[in-house]
């Protein structure tokens, strides 16, 4: 064999190394982002019939438009407590009209701040004839228009991007409140029947960065599971994700848009010392998240590669039981009981007529003068949310499960206020290194606990639980199948 001169071999090696750089921009992936202020005018109806009289921090909706030669997707991250079926679909329909992207390729997430509006338009329709309101419909229509316009602007701003994925650890904001529902002496017994032990958390802060050809970030995504930090009664606030995203945007510079997607935080809250009850507490928690995310966003990310996108969506029918005994009757007494109260198995479930009578009775008591003893607003809204689902159960049992994959990155989007065990199991079964799971997309099912929680009782299987012990299992199976089907 003829030997080539070393200098020639070196020249060939140089050409090969130049042709395959470590992080090549995938010109097939294009992205644009936009943000819009959606702070309601004061006084503002928010959080289940409460009224805000001051602004702690403004509310925003942030939009990311993403496409390649085969797929188009829109991500909408909102600073609101929840979007139930009709409100959720109204936003997706408006965004679809503005961009041409099919509604099932539009992800709309709520960060679940309890100092922001809860949008159940069907419950509002039940209240309005009585002169009561849970949704400011003028404000909601304005919000929908603003989000659609932001989506239009994001699409118009699209350009080739490089996608990076990574993560950080943030245990300081992650505590499993089910720890407080099971007596210490019963923990070992409970854990023997659990796949994930009492108190399990996922402190992972999932991170995605999209850079333009100039190296400047177009958008940054964060996925993290933890309930809100209170800004205090009567205050509008996006909770900790608001100031966290604002700081990330400032630090990454340019026109970067930072989007927060709430994870499976149904049973995960910040620890009590961080719960606070003021805008200052919100700012503190926001700085904590941003401070952990920024070093990783700057230096700890892995290039996803040049393989394009694959977006998958499937309509999944969930086993729901809004008329079941759990939550509807005896377990309502376990609202914040320590230890939890477990409902006897021999109580009959409600009928639809039973539920309608209970709602009407709670509504009549609530309408009494404030000097009279009347039910806590959550009594009315808990029954009202349950009633809207029960009346539409056949149609509202089906939910869009959505998955986006790019190289080793896999983002999973689920409905409901799903508990952390679901996310942990989906991540365990996923073949992709950077798998991050978001819930709170179409919040109609509300709490979706793991199977063991139904035996233990507690808030997650109480008044806002319309699931069955099988619901979480179906979610894991269907989401995992969808993940594995991604190219």
- Confidence at residue 367, expressed as pLDDT on a 0 to 100 scale: 83
Question: What is the band of 378 on the pLDDT scale with cuts at 50, 70, 90?
Answer: confident
Give the domain range for residue 136.
Answer: 26-311+400-451
Characterize the bridge pairing of strands 54-55 and 72-78. unpaired
**Mean pLDDT lowest among 23-27, 238-242, 249-253, 271-275:** 23-27
Domain presence at residue 225? yes
List, for residues 353-362, the tens digit of each pLDDT value: 999 998 998 8
Per-residue confidence band for 459, with pLDDT thresholds at 50, 70 and 90:
confident
Q: Do 235 and 279 contact (CB within 8 A), yes or no?
A: yes
Is the pTM higher than 0.75? The answer reads yes
The set of residues, in sequence order, having a beta carbon less than 8 Å from that of 7 and lying 6+ positions away, is none
Round to whole Å and give the CA distance between 177 and 201.
10
Residue 474 in domain: no
**Cβ atoms of 158 and 30 closer than 8 Å:** yes
23-59 confidence digits (pLDDT tens) = 444 468 999 999 999 999 999 998 777 899 999 999 9
**What is d(CA 112, CA 79) in angstroms, rounded to the nearest whole number?**
7
Residue 371 belongs to some domain of the structure = no
Domain total in the chain: 1
DSSP structure class, residue 446: B
DSSP code string of 243-308? HHHHHHHHHH-TT-EEEEEE-S-TTEE--HHHH-SSHHHHHHHHHHHHHHHHHHHHHS-EE--SS-
Stretch 445-463: mean pLDDT: 88
Inside any domain, residue 353: no
Distance between CA atoms of residues 151 and 145, nearest Å: 10
Q: In this predicted structure, what is the pLDDT of residue 18? A: 37
Which residues sit opposite 409 in a β-bridge?
406, 434
Q: What whole-number distance in Å separates Cα of residue 475 and Cα of residue 256?
A: 33
Is 14 contained in some domain?
no
Residue 354 lies in a domain: no
Residue 62 region by backbone torsions, left for phi larger than 0, else alpha for psi between -120 and 50, else beta: beta
Q: Is there a domain that residue 263 lies in? A: yes
In what helix (H) or strand (E) does residue 458 lie, and over which residues does it extend? none
Higher pLDDT, 347 or 132: 132
Instruction: Read off the pLDDT of residues 166-215 as tens digits, 9 standing for 90 and up.
Output: 999 999 999 999 888 888 888 998 899 999 999 999 999 999 999 999 99
Task: Let me know how long the chain is.
Answer: 487
Q: How far is CA 53 from CA 38, 114, 258, 277, 336, in A?
A: 16, 15, 28, 15, 28
The three-class DSSP label of residue 19 is: helix
What is the structure's pLDDT at 330? 46
| Rounded Cα distance, 276 and 253, in Å | 30
CA dihedral angle for residue 294, residue 256, residue 441, residue 312, rounded to 10 degrees: -100
Can you give the pLDDT at residue 198? 93
4-13, 342-351, 418-427: which is most confident? 418-427
Nearest Cα neighbor of 451 from 428, 468, 427 is 468
Domain membership flag for residue 232: yes
**CA atoms in the 13 A half-sphere facing the CB of 89:** 11
pLDDT of amino acid 476: 98
Name the percent of the chain in helix, strand, coil, to the closest 5.
Answer: 40, 25, 35
**Helix 377-391 vs helix 352-366: crossing angle, to nearest 10:** 150
* CA distance linking residue 33 with residue 151, whole number of Å: 8
What pairs with residue 207 in β-bridges? Answer: 166, 222
Neighbour tally for 356: CB within 10 Å = 16
């Amino acid at each position: 064999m003829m030997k080539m001169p070393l200098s020639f071999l070196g020249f060939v090696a140089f050409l090969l190394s130049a042709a395959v750089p470590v992080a090549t921009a995938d010109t097939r992936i294009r992205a644009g982002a936009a943000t819009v202020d959606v702070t309601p005018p004061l006084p503002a109806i928010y959080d289940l019939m409460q009224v805000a009289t001051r602004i702690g921090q403004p509310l925003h909706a942030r939009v990311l438009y993403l496409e390649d030669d085969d797929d188009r997707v829109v991500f909408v991250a909102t600073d609101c407590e929840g979007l139930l079926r009709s409100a959720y679909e109204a936003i997706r329909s408006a965004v679809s009209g503005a961009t041409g992207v099919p509604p099932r390729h539009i992800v709309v997430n709520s960060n679940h701040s309890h100092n922001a509006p809860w949008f159940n338009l069907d419950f509002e329709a039940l209240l309005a004839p009585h002169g009561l309101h849970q949704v400011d419909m003028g404000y909601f229509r304005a919000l929908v228009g603003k989000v659609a316009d932001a989506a239009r602007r994001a699409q118009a701003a699209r350009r080739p991007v490089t996608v990076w994925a990574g993560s950080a650890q943030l245990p300081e904001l992650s505590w499993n409140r089910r720890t407080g529902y099971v007596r210490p002496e019963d923990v070992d017994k409970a854990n023997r029947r659990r796949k994930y032990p009492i108190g399990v958390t996922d402190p992972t802060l999932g991170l995605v960065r999209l850079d333009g050809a100039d190296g400047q970030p177009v958008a940054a995504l964060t996925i993290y599971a933890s309930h809100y930090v209170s800004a205090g009664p009567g205050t509008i606030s996006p909770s900790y994700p608001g100031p966290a995203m604002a700081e990330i945007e400032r630090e990454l510079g340019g026109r970067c848009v930072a989007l927060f997607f709430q994870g499976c935080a149904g049973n995960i809250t910040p620890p009590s010392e961080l719960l606070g009850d003021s805008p200052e507490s919100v700012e503190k928690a926001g700085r904590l998240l941003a401070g952990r995310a920024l070093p990783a966003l700057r230096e700890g990310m892995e290039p996803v590669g040049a393989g394009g996108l694959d977006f998958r969506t499937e309509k999944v029918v969930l086993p729901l039981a809004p008329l079941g005994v759990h939550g509807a009757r005896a377990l309502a007494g376990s609202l914040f009981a320590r230890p939890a109260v477990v409902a006897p198995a021999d109580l009959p479930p409600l009928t639809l007529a039973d539920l309608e009578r209970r709602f009407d009775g709670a509504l009549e008591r609530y309408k009494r003068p404030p000097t009279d003893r009347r039910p806590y607003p959550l009594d009315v809204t808990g029954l009202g949310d349950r009633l809207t689902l029960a009346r539409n159960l056949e149609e509202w049992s089906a939910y869009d499960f959505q998955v986006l994959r790019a190289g080793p990155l896999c983002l999973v989007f689920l409905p409901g206020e799903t508990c952390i065990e679901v996310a942990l199991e989906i991540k365990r079964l996923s073949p992709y290194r950077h798998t991050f799971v978001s819930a709170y997309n179409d919040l109609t099912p509300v709490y979706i606990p793991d199977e063991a929680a139904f035996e233990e009782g507690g808030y997650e299987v109480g008044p806002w639980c319309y699931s069955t012990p099988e619901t979480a299992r179906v979610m894991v199976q269907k989401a995992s199948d969808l993940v594995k089907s991604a190219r």
